[in-house]
Chains A and B, each alone.
Chain A
Amino acid sequence: NAGVTQTPKFRVLKTGQSMTLLCAQDMNHEYMYWYRQDPGMGLRLIHYSVGEGTTAKGEVPDGYNVSRLKKQNFLLGLESAAPSQTSVYFCASSYSPRLGFFGPGTRLTVL
């Protein structure tokens, strides 16, 4: 049981480049979330999904897109990276609207 895994662990991008972060969970959870964490600001919700094929915007969705084509995977895309998107990104999953399990995070730097 791997729990929640995130790929990659670290990434450096140049402004304007695109990338996709992958979150995978093997617990058959319905709910999945993407957060970003910046110093002094706690975690802020970017997008979330309440089941396969569904997505919804969170608190700070601008500049990001997501897809949930398979129940176990939740992808976060940056189409044109900006320095303001330098952050640590966390994925989480749960079997009900109760946050449970977080992944180890992806550290992204945009130059």
Chain B
Amino acid sequence: GQQLNQSPQSMFIQEGEDVSMNCTSSSIFNTWLWYKQDPGEGPVLLIALYKAGELTSNGRLTAQFGITRKDSFLNISASIPSDVGIYFCAGPPNTGNQFYFGTGTSLTVIP
């Protein structure tokens, strides 16, 4: 199946620091989605990207659709304790209804 590689796998940061994570795919995507999952719950959609080069923000979160269409980036500014969770990228390669998920980046924020 489709491979989506997320890095880093885990991050431990101090409250107030900025966070960057990325996702790369082995093929071209036409949509990139970023989700956050809290323990024991389902993923929640944070940001959706539909065009190469697109930069979209949602509060302190900013995501970018890579120009090559094979990668995407998520930044969190001024992290707070409630940012703790696992962040997933997802998307469909080219056209299609099958969405593939990355393996996730686990974020820990130290107060």
Contact residues, A1-33 vs B (CB, 8 A): 4, 31, 33
User: In the complex, what residue of chain B is closest to A50 when comparing beta carbons?
Assistant: B97
User: In the complex, what residue of chain B is closest to A99 when comparing beta carbons?
Assistant: B99
Determine whether the beta carbon of A59 is less than 8 Å from that of B98. yes
A59-B98, A98-B33 given as contacts; is B45 within 8 A of A43 (CB)? no
Determine whether the beta carbon of A43 is less than 8 Å from that of B101. yes
Q: How large is the interface on B (under 10, 10 to 19, 20 to 34, 35 or more residues)?
A: 20 to 34
The stretch of A62-70, A71-79, A101-109 that contacts the partner chain: A101-109
Determine whether the beta carbon of B103 is less than 8 Å from that of A40. yes
Provide the main secondary structure of the chain B interface: loop
The reply to whether the CB of B88 lies closer than 8 angstroms to some CB of chain A is: yes
In whole angstroms, what is the CA distance A4 to B33 when docked? 19
In whole angstroms, what is the CA distance A40 to B104 when docked? 8
Determine whether the beta carbon of A98 is less than 8 Å from that of B101. no
Determine whether the beta carbon of A102 is less than 8 Å from that of B44. yes
Partner of A41, one of B90, B97, B98, B103: B103
- Residues of chain A touching chain B, judged by Cβ–Cβ distance below 8 Å, are 4, 31, 33, 35, 40-45, 48, 50, 56, 58-59, 90, 92, 97-105
